[in-house]
Structure 1
């Protein structure tokens, strides 16, 4: 019996590593457990990755704004600035500050649905709905998820959806050093390019956490930051801090305000959980009834063929080009934390049974 439990425990620990329980080091030691022909090893999923030496020279640190590296509190969130502090570096998390280079909303009458943190085993149901209803959307993917589910990413690309980078470990970027930020973006870009053959230009900072230091690094690496102005708060479903009915009410209110709103919307949703996907599928027809559904590239005055660093004529084409409009929004978190907690509790339970 103990031998069986030990074997089960070993499997759970391995699965926990794949789904996000990361070691301290993010060196490329992880070999994805699938049949995709990867060209190299990667950092462990959701670990803070180490920078490749050749990537250091991609950013001229002498020109990067000297914004301080923000400090996180015991709960992992950023320490809030003292009252009366000045927003010297256009920090979105604390001051909702946006720059003209940030894509944060669509023009009046338009709406871009976006989905973060995938791909995941739950994503395919959302992909099916989008395909059946001829809807294109924008997905911001995590590097560790890409190397676990390359076939899902390939499907997204082949079906004409837009793919953006959402970092490797989903950290608050203003709390990371310049080199860590570079590693977060470049490792994810590398994984995406090995799957679909092109490198995304769009990126979304986890939690929307960005300031001028991060913006400059992002720009030097050839990325364009994308925020949002409508949060479904679907990431709260896992902790029961919200429910499906509350989110559905919010979506209906957004649709009802379409005529009076001065700008359109970019909504933050996630395809990392079954509950999140169900919410997304219910929200889409409501939004479509009130807005013209668009891709983020259209809201950012870009052609769809220009959202990747490598130009290709094989990409699906978008319709009209439009200008971005900035608007404040709320912060967001990630339901992956709850997945990792569940795996850890299962591991602890097996340990107790093993040694009783």
Structure 2
């Protein structure tokens, strides 16, 4: 069962439009020297963004522009799903098998779910939050990088933490604007959710992500097709700490989270593949659990961002930005690589989507 919590219950968010406000989150002072340049930022956003914790609108000029760059007629004709108030699909039996819906059958279609043997894909969802600086402080003590799947609403609210993570060379990725299950959104809504989050990260950090994790792992071939057209790689996971189920999200205890890590460590010698693990920078106790258990992971696996374990040194549209990888690439920035025209990229994306998802 998915427990669908509103973002307001997850973190305290501002209700005003971020384009005319500044963040109230505490400033974060990096403990490691910046590895990547980030653009200047006054504290006031130049772009207009949707209200926080609300599904992104589809009738703005920006969204219309983004939609015009895609070929929505190439997408599978699967209607959006419906979830009930308890976070469950209302009628799982109505979802056709060819949708490859992860929520229904854990179906995977070119999604990243694990890393190579003896490596650990270190990921944290739902940031940045007021608790993120504590996590980043700890990660910096051992020069440990991770993939951070950011919610757009949180990016504009806790922008200091986002800029810190970008400058420090963490792998920044997208987790939608409002954290609704992806398959419940129309094509237009999903595009808006991705692109507004992408835009906020670009404005703050000067980078355009190309990795995405669906909230609750909720994804099907319609969503995958849209992601391919927008140039994204989808990431799920193969093991789940269920840390989000600790209070206030549920009744799971920190001892139970610790026990799961101990079990994974105990079984590491018998594995033929590595892991991608689901964790959260959501609450104080999820950050506490992450800090407590990371040392035992570092002693057992080579922990790294997901892009690193799949040897993707360029996980952003800006190919002059390099992040460290398993095969030895080093984090840094260099001369910009000339990009393909938008029309060429769009045409290639449509072709890839058609080949990948049986269109």
TM-score by length of 2: 0.78
Per the alignment, residue 325 of structure 2 pairs with 318
Contact 1:18 1:44 in 2 (8 A): no
Output the CA distance in 2 between the equivalents of 1:22 and 1:158: 27
Contact 2:18 2:156 in 1 (8 A): no
Q: Determine whether 1:294 maps to 2:283.
A: no
In structure 1, what is the equivalent of residue 12 of structure 2?
19
* Structure 1 counterpart of 2:64: 53
Q: Which runs of 5+ in 2 are unaligned?
A: 1-7, 24-41, 330-359
Q: Deviations over 1:180-200 (max 9, x none)?
A: 000000000000000000100
C-alpha deviation, 1:210, in angstroms: 0.5
| Equivalent residue for 2:180, pick from 159, 171, 178 | 171
1:344-355 counterparts in 2 under 5 A? none
Misfit runs of 4+, over 6 Å: 15-18
| Cα pair distance change 1:170/1:106, threshold 3 Å | same
CA shift for structure 1 position 269: 0.8
Question: In 1, are the aligned partners of 2:244 and 2:250 still within 8 Å (CA)?
Answer: no
Alignment counterpart, residue 309 of structure 1, candidates 313, 317, 324: 317
Q: CA deviation at 1:270?
A: 0.8
Q: 2:20 pairs with 6, 25, 31, which one?
A: 31
Of structures 1 and 2, the larger Rg is shown by: 1
* Cα distance between partner residues in 2 of 1:30 and 1:294: 34
Query: Structure 1 residues 16 and 318 mapped into 2: Cα distance closer, same or farther (>3 Å)?
Result: closer
Local SS of the residue matching 1:39: coil
What SS does structure 1 have at the residue aligned with 2:20? coil
Change (3 A) 1:135 1:110: same
**Structure 1 length-normalised TM:** 0.79
Q: Return the offset for 1:33.
A: 2.5
The reply to whether residue 122 of structure 1 matches residue 131 of structure 2 is: yes
Question: SS of 1:19's equivalent?
Answer: coil
State the alpha-carbon separation in 2 of the partners of residues 263 and 32 from structure 1. Answer: 46
Name which of structure 1's ranges 256-265 and 228-237 shifts more when overlaid on structure 2: 256-265
Q: Distance in 2 between matches of 1:241 and 1:202?
A: 31
Give the structure 2 partner of residue 214 of structure 1: 223
State how many pairs are aligned.
Answer: 299
- For 2:127, what is the secondary structure of its paired residue? coil
User: Which of 162, 167, 171 is residue 171 of structure 2 equivalent to?
Assistant: 162
Contact 2:15 2:52 in 1 (8 A): yes
Q: How far is the alpha carbon of 1:166 from its aligned partner? A: 0.5
Q: Structure 1: how far apart are the matches of 2:210 and 2:96? A: 31
**In the TM superposition, what is the alpha-carbon distance from 1:151 to its structure 2 partner?**
1.4
**1:218 to 1:187, Cα distance in 2 relative to 1, 3 A:** same
Question: 2:170 and 2:91 mapped to 1: Cα distance?
Answer: 37
Bigger CA drift: 234-243 or 134-143?
Answer: 234-243
Alignment partner of 1:68 is 2:79: yes
Deviation at 1:153, TM superposition (A): 0.8
Q: Is the 8 A contact 1:20 1:47 kept in 2?
A: no
State the shift of 1:38 in Å: 1.4
- Cα gap change, 1:264 to 1:29, in 2 (>3 Å): closer
CA distance in 1, matches of 2:214, 2:10: 23
Residue 99 in structure 1 maps to residue 95 in structure 2 = no
- The answer to whether the aligner puts 1:110 opposite 2:99 as a matched pair is no
Q: Distance in 2 between matches of 1:321 and 1:174?
A: 37
Q: Secondary structure at the match of 2:246?
A: helix
Describe the superposition over 1:187-232 as per-residue Cα deviations: whole angstroms up to 9, x where unpaired.
Answer: 0000000000010001111001000000000110111111111111
